[in-house]
Amino acid sequence: MRAIYFEKFNGPVIIKDLPIPAPSPQGCVIKVEATGICRSDWHGYVGHDSDIKLPHVPGHEFAGTIFAVGGGVKNFKLNQRVTVPFVNGCSSCQYCISGNAQVCPQQTQAGFTHFGSFAEYVKIENADFNLVNLPDQIDFNSAAALGCRFATSYRGLIDRAKLKSGDTVAIYGCGGIGLSALIIAKAMGAKVICVDINERILEKAKALNADYLINSKKVEPIDQIHQITQGNGVDISIDALGSEQTSNQSVLSLKRGGKHLQLGLLLTPSSNTPMPMARVIAYELDILGSHGMSAVDYPKLLSFCLDKKIDLNSLIADCFSLEDGPELLKNLDKTAIAGVNILNPSKAFI
């Protein structure tokens, strides 16, 4: 099979022919029809993720069809359309049993703990527990866009922050996570303030019905947010980028009793970023995180998308061949993407 492959962090990235993986007794091999290119993949490529052992094939948000099935798998069959959360649980620990596989201590993650989905085929473990049947109404590209950024935003807003209609939400950073959060918040009837430094990205947020746009290169976003909210601050504020600056700005944008939701990864030295804890105490703020969601919750996510008639294709910026992937991966930190870029490993681009 063809795969995107590197042997050194921050080094050359190539297309390499590798053996098609074989499923474990409880696992499956998926023919990858679509896989998203995420900032997490770039963090892995430059060496920010200690789970990655070299050489490596990245990629963790994907959808496709079942190519091979382990002998112990009971609920899935060849050629079935499937997707999978980026966190795969062990199925037997207290967290998996309670429905929280996204924090399983023995979790596996394609593209981090083992070879990932920037390839024609990828394997997963504990298929009966981790695989998700994909409804015919959701295409492969849309399902791949759901797998990390949308699922993380959905769990963060719906399950962790308890978003409700009429809430005001601020979103710092309008890449794939931020735009996913915008789509979800608007579908729930919230008022949304989007903050970014790129006018093209803000125009995309406007097209997705953001109520207010703030270019933080031009104005102080915290002041603007407090003006918009008559001095109160917002109910929920999201750092969808992942930096010391944006995480602090998010906290300082909250009303008393508000909720900060950290969705952007902090895998660089700023992962131990200082927070304005005096404000957290004085305002009785909640600091929340979201690490994707477990397969058991995926039917709720898919029903949400179908019931709310969410146009998931509006989240997709562009689609590329596998051969385009190495350059896209290496330059991800230099590129402002209005949504999610998708690789189609099994598709021939002319």
Would you state the pLDDT for residue 268?
Answer: 63
Question: 299-335 in b/e burial notation, b at 16+ Cβ within 10 A?
Answer: eebbebbeeeebebeebbbebbebebbbebbbebeee
Task: Select from 218, 7, 249, 189 the least CA-distant residue to 115.
Answer: 7
Which residues make beta-bridge pairs with 244?
Answer: none
Q: Are residues 301 and 218 in the same domain?
A: no
Among candidate residues 248, 266, 289, the one where a domain is terminated: 289
Neighbours of 24 (CB within 10 A): 17
Per-residue DSSP letter, 268: S
Together in a domain, 62 and 145? yes
Query: In terms of residue numbers, what domain contains 255?
Result: 153-289
Pairing of strands 81-83, 121-124: unpaired
> In tens digits, what is the pLDDT along the chain, a chain of 350 residues?
999 999 999 999 999 999 999 999 999 999 999 999 998 999 999 999 889 999 999 999 999 999 999 999 999 999 999 999 999 999 999 999 999 999 999 999 999 999 999 999 999 999 999 999 999 999 999 999 998 999 999 999 999 999 999 999 999 999 999 999 999 999 999 999 999 999 999 999 999 999 999 999 999 999 999 999 999 999 999 999 999 999 999 999 999 999 999 999 887 665 678 899 999 999 999 999 999 999 999 999 999 999 999 999 999 999 999 999 999 999 998 878 888 999 999 876 54
Phi-psi region of 47 (alpha: psi -120 to 50; beta: other; left: phi over 0): left
Q: Do 271 and 259 share a domain, yes or no?
A: yes
Q: Positive or negative, the Cα torsion across 275, 278, 279, 280?
A: positive
Do 144 and 263 belong together in one domain?
Answer: no
In total, how many domains does the chain have?
Answer: 2
- Model pLDDT, residue 347: 78
**pLDDT the model gives residue 269:** 64
**Tokens 């700023």 -> residue:** 270
Q: pTM of the predicted model, to two decimals?
A: 0.94
In a domain, 237, yes or no: yes
